[in-house]
Structure 1
Amino acid sequence: MSLSPPRAATALAIGLVAVITTAVSPASALTHDWQDVSPPDSTNSVLFDVESARGGTWAVGGRRDPATRLFAPVALRWTGTGWQAFPQPADHGSLEDVAVGAPDEVWALGTRIDAVSNQGSALLQHWDGTAWREVTLPFPQGASEVSLSAVDVDAGGSVWVYGDYADTSGDYHSALFRGEADGSGGWTSLPASTGLTWVSRLEAGPGGVVHAVGDGVSRFDGTSWTKQSLPPSLNEAMFDGIEVNAANEIWAVGHARDNHLWRRPVIVRYDGDAWRTVRTPMETGQLFDIVFDSSGSPVAVGETSNPAVNPAGNYVLTPGPQGFLTRTEQPPGAAYLYAAATDTTGRVWTVGGAAGAEGGAYPAAYAGIRH
């Protein structure tokens, strides 16, 4: 999951009350145990994304140098008992999105920072089973101000990368590339006009169908994009996470503006017929990601800035006894939670920053497993 404009600022925007329409199955009404598996020696670090597939679990983020205030990219692999770090192609910057297809099909993207000019540039890298290597995409000649916001690997062995760039006239364009997830072969440039102003996440499914979220939801059928029709009350909602649970069950999460709350959590669900609003608590909070546990029930993670909601800052919604998503679980040791994933054993993972954050700075990275 990449840092969309609302998440990158983690303290902007205010949201619009969503219409409450849909309940979900109460199968996960019982509170689950969370285990803190945060990486040791991760002072001044934060993890922005976690993904798991085919037995491999990776988390990415950045570590800040208190002296220079520059970040260094971090990519960690779960060994079964702890986290293992590897050398990075870039000395400065951060990784904000990771996609896992197989042990040698791991992709991560983010921003490289020039230590002298403090200017940022797009960073895409591939893990080939032994090392991380930087990858260059075929943007048009003369492209500048290139940024990358989302990456995903589909079940068929393709990697998808979304970004933006400025042409030689200074006009901005979106770009979508598809390549081989194992790093072999070239790249195919595909239509990238999603109908969205910005994209924070891609979800690549079977048959070349891709969903994107940002300031809305859009669907790519292999030929063109169609912006999805959401409930009118969510016209100004901002989405950071999407999960395709089945062809006729797709969920997207984020936040919406409200005159009284800092941000209000928003969830929409496609049921095969239309996108409908899922009921969420009327309280300050925003959601960054959603996954499904081993029982098929949703687990949405995010943050709240209201100490009355949760002084630690972490925000987790799961189905309550009445079937509506409620805040019943608090991963110990966690502050803001930026991403979640489900591994092959059905465990739910979440990552972010450790409790005790002040002024947007975290004392350490956080990672947790829900059993």
Structure 2
Amino acid sequence: MFLSLPRSATALALGLAAVVATAASPAAAQTGTWRDVSPPGSDGSVLFDVETTRGTTWAVGLRSDDTTRPFAPVAMRWTGTGWQAPPQPADHGRLDELAAGAPDEVWAVGTRYDAVDDTDWGRGSALLQHWNGTAWTEVALPFPEGATDTSLSAVAVDEGGSVWVYGGYTDAAGQYVQALFRGDADGEADADGDGGWTRLPGDTGLNWVSQLEAGPGGVLHAVGDGVSRFDGTSWTKQSLPPTLDGALFDGIQTRTADDIWAVGHIRDEKLWRRPVVVRFDGRAWRTVRTPAETGQLYDIAFDGSGRPVVVGETMNPEVDPDGNYVLTPGPRGFLTRTEEPPGAGFLYGAATDAAGRVWTVGGTAGAEGGISPGAYAGIRR
């Protein structure tokens, strides 16, 4: 998205120190070195998500210019020296989320637009596409007959290779229905002719979902206006600290079944939006201390030493004039703002590759009115 949109903390020093190893050590205070690897010629583009697996890195987003009416989807693959952008199955639309199980099993979700007439591009419809190692193809999901206003917002791949897709639709009675789909790893059609896809309960207890995370044992977590857990049968909305009532989450990362992190923001009368990080320790979700300043968090990754790197944006130029917002553990183990990727503006996605490098994507510096002038990508060594 071009515009900035969602997508009192108490310290959890003991929990964070477990991730940082020795929170007070000099190593914990070290900052990473960022390298700008933004795609050239990407004016009018922005990247929303990045994923990496087995030496393959992809980033997705949108491009907007006089020819896209209103947007064109973008999916780019890192070659080791630059970016390649294979042809897209949809001429008009946007891609918001990625999931990668293997170099030839990459999935992306978003919205496609089809012209109603020369001036009306409708409300958009669900877009799911798959990279098979050679090309991107659009994949149809078994929405119920008569479903309208279909949408997709999140995708994940579990350790067995199954694909999970979350979205929604309007049914024949005009009611909005949440939907969860699971796709077989081989993608072969089942007896019902649904292309290997099964529709499962989608009532997360949340009003919207921004990201899915597939953890050990086939357990899913969804984040949005809260956190919810799917055990394979039903969803359970998670109990968060009372101080986070009204918090909105955009990113989640599972390290183990007893170590899950979610990041986002909460509205603040003085700061507008204040960064929020919570962590599940196997028993309860607890707040991780963040700076008391204007910031909004979108994603989290862990570097090769197991330290969290949280990315987002700030609309306060006194916090960062370029708008990028990165939190990492400081000398005492608390999350602090110590790094600024060169050339970066708002940051929306983060991922870690096999070498322990953290990737981040978003928009370049120089945004005006919340609109990024071009796509940004960076690598943290």
So what's the TM-score if we normalise by structure 2? 0.92
Could you tell me which residue of structure 1 aligns to residue 45 of structure 2? Answer: 45
Matched to 2:159, the amino acid is: A
Is the CA contact (8 Å cut-off) linking 2:326 and 2:339 kept in structure 1? yes
1:328 paired with 2:341, answer no
> Closer, same or farther in 2 for the Cα pair 1:181/1:334, shift >3 Å?
farther
Query: Which whole-Å CA distance do the structure 1 matches of 2:186 and 2:315 have between them?
Result: 40
Matched to 2:205, the amino acid is: G
> Closer, same or farther in 2 for the Cα pair 1:188/1:40, shift >3 Å?
same
| 1:61-88 Cα shifts (integer Å, max 9, x gaps) | 0110146662111000111111111100
Query: Does the residue aligned with 1:257 lie in a helix, a strand or coil?
Result: strand
Q: Name the stretch that deviates more: 175-184 or 286-295.
A: 175-184
> Closer, same or farther in 2 for the Cα pair 1:366/1:31, shift >3 Å?
same
1:127 paired with 2:131, answer yes
Is the CA contact (8 Å cut-off) linking 2:6 and 2:248 kept in structure 1? no
Structure 1 alignment gaps of length 5 or more: none
Is the CA contact (8 Å cut-off) linking 1:55 and 1:344 kept in structure 2? yes
CA drift of 1:11 comes to: 5.3
Query: Does the residue aligned with 2:217 lie in a helix, a strand or coil?
Result: helix
Matches within 5 A, 1:124-203: 124-185=128-189, 186-203=196-213
So what's the TM-score if we normalise by structure 1? 0.94
**Structure 2 counterpart of 1:19, from 9, 19, 24:** 9
Could you tell me which residue of structure 2 aligns to residue 90 of structure 1? Answer: 90
1:340 paired with 2:350, answer yes
Matches within 5 A, 1:1-371: 10=4, 18-23=8-13, 24-25=16-17, 26=23, 27-66=27-66, 70-115=70-115, 116=117, 117-119=120-122, 120-185=124-189, 186-371=196-381
| 1:241-289 Cα shifts (integer Å, max 9, x gaps) | 0000111110000000111012000000011111000000000000000
Query: Which whole-Å CA distance do the structure 1 matches of 2:287 and 2:132 have between them?
Result: 41
How many residues were matched structurally?
361
> Closer, same or farther in 2 for the Cα pair 1:131/1:43, shift >3 Å?
same
CA drift of 1:12 comes to: 7.6
CA drift of 1:355 comes to: 0.6
CA drift of 1:41 comes to: 1.3
Percent identical: 70
Query: Which whole-Å CA distance do the structure 2 matches of 1:147 and 1:34 have between them?
Result: 35
> Closer, same or farther in 2 for the Cα pair 1:12/1:46, shift >3 Å?
closer
> Closer, same or farther in 2 for the Cα pair 1:222/1:298, shift >3 Å?
same
Q: CA RMSD in A?
A: 1.5
> Closer, same or farther in 2 for the Cα pair 1:181/1:57, shift >3 Å?
farther
Query: Which whole-Å CA distance do the structure 1 matches of 2:272 and 2:59 have between them?
Result: 29
CA drift of 1:28 comes to: 3.3
CA drift of 1:349 comes to: 0.1
Matched to 2:94, the amino acid is: S
| 1:111-147 Cα shifts (integer Å, max 9, x gaps) | 1122442221111101111111001100111111111
Query: Which whole-Å CA distance do the structure 1 matches of 2:212 and 2:68 have between them?
Result: 33
Structure 2 alignment gaps of length 5 or more: 18-22, 190-195
Query: Does the residue aligned with 1:263 lie in a helix, a strand or coil?
Result: strand
Q: Name the stretch that deviates more: 299-308 or 352-361.
A: 352-361
> Closer, same or farther in 2 for the Cα pair 1:47/1:11, shift >3 Å?
closer
Is the CA contact (8 Å cut-off) linking 2:98 and 2:156 kept in structure 1? yes
